């Protein structure tokens, strides 16, 4: 039972008084990294700091961000959902396919049902059947990719007349995806901090046995987490399909890895019990800024891969440095 995944090989670290740790919170370091990146890119490209570009970053980050919110909740409880990428594509295909037959409202209803079904199946497999979340959701990833292809006949399906969700700018010229992103982040942050459900997820992640013995309905809570992830996939999938006006069963490939990267970059621990939405938000924005900034700098896409990797390492390494400096090692 005394196991941790990504842990301190060095026990001394754990004895550091919490106080000194909290003096520079993890999120402050991430914010500093984000700021440093922003300053760097603004010296490299005159366009980086324009309001339009910053909005672009937010828009591009919104689908990842929306899905990363319940992703954080799940990881905090020691669970994963790797089916989100193919899930979002599948939702899009269901929406376009349903719309083609019965119109937009039915399409949306079908998409919602599909998303909740995904959450349900993942949840049942993990909590009722007791199958490892990684295997469950990797299997689901393959299944949904395949089903999406089958439903779409391997083609991209057009979805006309459903552009507003992805493109309308109802307030202050801010596009709906960004507003939804903000809303999801705020709601999830509140849920995680101020609800029994949210706190239960932390407790489950920190020690599933203790949580169960404390009378927490661990299975129900985790089930809820997968359902929320399914719900976020619906929102993300619909935004994506609305932005593109078309649904491709190949869309959003690799999204699951971006989500996991953002969440972990944001300070959540694979071993559960640690992580915040603010951290994840910063993680999402750092990744978004990296992609955008490197493109603005006109860098060859191969070198972009290299730069992305190096900067990711640097960001986390910087955080480790903070731990050493503030810790009394």
Partner 1 sequence: MSQLTLALRDISKSFGGVEVLHKVNLDALGGEVLALLGENGAGKSTLVKILAGDYVPDGGEVIVDDVSAPSLNPRTARKLGIRMIHQEFQDAGALTVAENISLGRWPTTGGIVSWRNLKRRAVDVLTQLGVDIDPGALVSSLRVGERQVVEIARALADDAKLLILDEPTAALSQQEVDRLFEWVRRLRDRGVCVVYITHRLDEVFELADRVQVLRNGNVALTAPTSDVTRRQLVEAMVGRDIGEVSRPVGAGAGAHGEPMITIDNLHVDNQVAGLSLTVRKGEVVCLYGKLGSGTTQVAEVCFGIRKPTGGTLDIAGTAGFPSAPTAAIRRGVGYLPPDRKREGAFMSRSVVENLSVASWGKLAVGGLFITSGMEKTAYARWSSKLGIKSADPANQQIAQLSGGNQQKVMLARWLERSSNPLVLVEPTRGVDVGARQEIYSAIRALAAEGHAVLVVTSDYEEAVQLSDRVVVMQRGQQVAELDGNDVTAQNLTIAAGG
Partner 2 sequence: TTSGTGDTGGEAAGDGAGLKIGYISLGDSIPFVKLVSDNIKLEVEASGAEFFFCDSQLDAAKALACAQTFKTQGVDGIINFQVDEKAAASICAAGPDVPVVAVDIHQLPCEKVFVGADNKTAGQIAGEALGNYFKDNFNCEYDAFVSMEQPAAGQVNLDRTGGAVDGFESVCGAIPADKKRSVDGGGTIDGGLTSFGDTLTALTGATRIAVVSLNDDMLLGSFAAADAQGRSDQVYGVAQGADPSSFDNIQNDPNWVGDTAYFPEHYGELAVPSIIALIKGESVPANVFTKHVFINADNFSEYYG
Ligand X SMILES: Nc1ncnc2c1ncn2[C@@H]1O[C@H](COP(=O)(O)OP(=O)(O)OP(=O)(O)O)[C@@H](O)[C@H]1O
Q: Is 24 left (phi over 0), alpha (psi -120 to 50) or beta?
A: beta
65, 205, 288, 293: which one contacts a second copy (CB under 8 A)? 205
Q: Which does 291 bind (CB under 5 to 8 A by kind): a second copy, ligand X, partner 2, none?
A: partner 2
160, 161, 170, 317: which one contacts partner 2 (CB under 8 A)? 160
2 makes contact with a second copy (CB under 8 A): yes
C-alpha 258/C-alpha 283 separation (Å) is 10
Considering only residues 255 to 294 of the shown chain, the ones binding partner 1 according to CB under 8 A are 269, 271-274
35, 46, 310, 328: which one contacts a second copy (CB under 8 A)? 310
| Cα atoms in the Cβ-side hemisphere of radius 13 Å centred on 158 | 2
* Per-residue binder mask for ligand X (CB under 6 A), 5-44, x = binder: ----------x-x---------------------------
157 DSSP 8-state letter: E
* Per-residue binder mask for partner 1 (CB under 8 A), 154-193, x = binder: ---------------------------------------x
For the chain, the residue count is: 329
Q: Which does 316 bind (CB under 5 to 8 A by kind): ligand X, partner 2, a second copy, none?
A: a second copy
83 makes contact with partner 2 (CB under 8 A): no
C-alpha 182/C-alpha 239 separation (Å) is 14
- Burial of 138: CB neighbours in 10 Å, binned 0-12, 13-18, 19+: middle
C-alpha 251/C-alpha 269 separation (Å) is 28
Q: Which does 219 bind (CB under 5 to 8 A by kind): ligand X, a second copy, partner 2, none?
A: a second copy
Whether residue 312 contacts residue 288, with contact meaning beta carbons closer than 8 Å, is answered with no
C-alpha 95/C-alpha 100 separation (Å) is 8
172 makes contact with a second copy (CB under 8 A): no
133 makes contact with a second copy (CB under 8 A): yes
What angle in degrees, to the nearest 10, is found between the helix axes of 84-102 and 133-152? Answer: 30
C-alpha 275/C-alpha 266 separation (Å) is 7
Q: Which stretch binds a second copy (CB under 8 A): 106-114, 157-165, 171-179, 212-220?
A: 212-220
Interface contacts to ligand X, rule CB under 6 A: 15, 17
């Amino acid at each position: 039972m005394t196991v941790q995944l990504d842990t301190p090989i060095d026990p001394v670290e754990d004895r550091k008084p919490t106080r000194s740790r909290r003096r520079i919170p993890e999120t402050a370091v991430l914010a500093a990294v984000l700021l440093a990146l922003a300053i760097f890119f603004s010296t490299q490209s005159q366009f980086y700091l324009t309001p339009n570009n910053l909005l672009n970053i937010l828009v591009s980050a919104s689908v990842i961000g929306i899905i990363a919110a319940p992703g954080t909740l799940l990881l905090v409880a020691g669970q994963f959902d790797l089916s989100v990428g193919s899930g979002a594509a599948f939702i899009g295909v269901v929406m376009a396919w349903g719309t083609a037959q019965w119109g937009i409202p039915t399409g949306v209803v079908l998409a919602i049902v599909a998303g909740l079904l995904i959450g349900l199946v993942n949840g049942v497999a993990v909590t009722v059947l007791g199958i490892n979340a990684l295997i469950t959701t990797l299997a689901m990833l393959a299944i949904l990719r395949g089903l999406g292809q089958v439903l779409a006949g391997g083609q991209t399906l057009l979805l006309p007349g459903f552009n507003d969700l992805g493109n309308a700018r109802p307030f202050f010229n801010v596009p709906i995806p960004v507003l939804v992103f903000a809303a999801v982040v705020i709601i999830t942050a509140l849920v995680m901090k101020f609800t029994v459900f949210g706190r239960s997820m932390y407790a489950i992640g920190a020690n599933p046995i203790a949580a169960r013995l404390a009378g927490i309905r661990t299975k129900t809570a985790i089930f809820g987490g997968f359902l929320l992830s399914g719900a976020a996939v619906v929102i993300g999938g619909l935004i994506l399909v609305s932005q593109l006006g078309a649904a491709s069963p190949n869309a959003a490939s690799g999204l699951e890895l971006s989500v996991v990267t953002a969440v972990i970059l944001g300070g959540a621990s694979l071993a559960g019990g640690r992580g915040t939405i603010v951290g994840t938000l910063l993680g999402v924005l750092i990744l978004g800024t990296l992609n955008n900034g490197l493109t603005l700098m006109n860098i060859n896409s191969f070198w972009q891969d290299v730069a992305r990797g190096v900067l990711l390492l640097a960001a986390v390494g910087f955080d480790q440095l903070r731990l050493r400096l503030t810790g009394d090692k």
